[in-house]
Chains A and B, each alone.
Chain A
Amino acid sequence: MATAAGTLPQYGTHTGLWSWITTVDHKRIGTMYLVTSFSFFILGGIEALLIRSQLAVPDGNVIDAELYNQLFSMHALTMIFLAVMPMAAAFFNWMIPLMIGARDVAFPRMNALSYWLYLFGALLLTSSFFFTAPNSGWFAYAPLTTLQYGPSQAMDFYVVGLLILGISSVAASLNFAVTIINMRAPGMTMMRLPVFVWMTLIIAFLLFLALPPLTVGLIQLLFDRNFTTHFFIPDGGGDPILWQHLFWVFGHPEVYILILPPMGIISEVIPTFSRKPLFGYSAMVFAGIAIGFMSWAVWSHHMFTTGLNPIPRAIFAANTMLIGVPTGIKIFNWLGTMYGGNIRFNTAMLFAVSFIPLFTIGGISGVMHSSPPIDGQHQDTYFIVAHLHYVLVAGAVMGMFSGLYYWFPKMTGRFLNETLGKWNFWLMFAGVNLTFFPMHFLGLAGMPRRIYTYADGMDWGFWNAVATIGAFTLALGVLFFIINVFASLRKEPTASDNPWDAPTLEWATSSPPPEHDFDVVPPVRARDPLWYDRDHGIARPEPTDEHIHMPPPSYYPILLAAGVLMLGLGPLSSLAVTALGVPVILYAIWGWALEPTH
Chain B
Amino acid sequence: MRQFVGMRRAIAAAAFVLLAFGLAACSFSDAPQTTIAPRSDNADSIQSVYVIVFWLAVVVFIGVMLATIVFALMFRERADRQAKQFHGNARLEVLWTLIPVIIVVIIAVPTFNSLAETSAAPPEDALHVEVIGHQWWFEFRYDNVGGVEQVVSANELHLPVDRAVDFTLKSADVIHSFWVPQLGGKVDLVPGHENDLWFTPNTVGEYLGQCAEFCGDSHALMRFRVFVHSQADFETWAQNEASDAVEPTDEAIMAGQAAFLGNACIGCHTVQGTTAVGQVGPNLSHVGARTTLAAGIMDNTPENMANWIRNAPSIKPGSIMPAFPALSDEDLQAIVAYLQSLK
Contacts and interface: CB of A to CB of B under 8 A. Distances in A.
Interface of A: 64-66, 69, 136-137, 141, 143-144, 149, 234-235, 238-241, 274-283, 305-307, 309-310, 313-314, 317-318, 321-322, 324-325, 327-329, 331-333, 335-336, 338-345, 353, 356-357, 360-361, 364-365, 367-368, 370-381, 437, 440-441, 443-455, 457-460, 463
B64 A65 contact: no
5 contacts: A69-B216, A314-B111, A342-B81, A371-B108, A444-B31
Interface stretch (B142-150, B207-215, B274-282): B207-215
B76 to A, nearest CB: 5
Contact of B75 (A313, A338, A372): A338
A137 B216 CA distance: 10
B77 interface: yes
A367 B114 contact: no
| 9 closest Cβ pairs, A-B complex | A376-B185, A234-B192, A446-B33, A451-B220, A328-B100, A445-B31, A340-B84, A307-B195, A275-B83
Contact of B212 (A278, A340, A448): A448
The residue in A336, A353, A444, A458 that gathers the most chain B C-beta atoms within 10 A of its C-beta is A444
A446 B193 CA distance: 26
Interface of B: 21, 24-25, 28, 30-36, 45-46, 49-50, 53-54, 56-57, 60-61, 64-65, 67-68, 71-72, 75-78, 81-89, 92-93, 96-97, 99-101, 103-104, 107-108, 111-112, 114-116, 118-119, 135, 169, 173-175, 177, 179, 181, 184-188, 190-193, 195-196, 208, 210-221, 297, 317-318
A364 B175 contact: no
Instruction: Decide if the interface of chain A is mainly helix, strand, loop or mixed.
Output: helix
B108 A274 contact: no
A360 B59 CA distance: 12
B120 to A, nearest CB: 9
Nearest to A457: B32
Given A276-B83, A376-B46, A379-B212, A364 B57 contact: yes
Contacts, number: 289
Contact of B108 (A313, A321, A360, A455): A321
Given A371-B107, A441-B25, 6 more contacts: A143-B174, A317-B108, A321-B108, A360-B64, A377-B186, A458-B33
A525 to B, nearest CB: 16
B88 A373 contact: no
Contacts of A371: 49, 53, 107-108, 111, 114
B118 to A, nearest CB: 6
A276 B177 contact: no
Contacts of B193: 234, 241, 307
A375 B93 CA distance: 31
A458 to B, nearest CB: 6
A488 to B, nearest CB: 23
A381 B188 CA distance: 14
B217 A65 contact: yes
A454 B64 contact: no
B93 A329 contact: yes
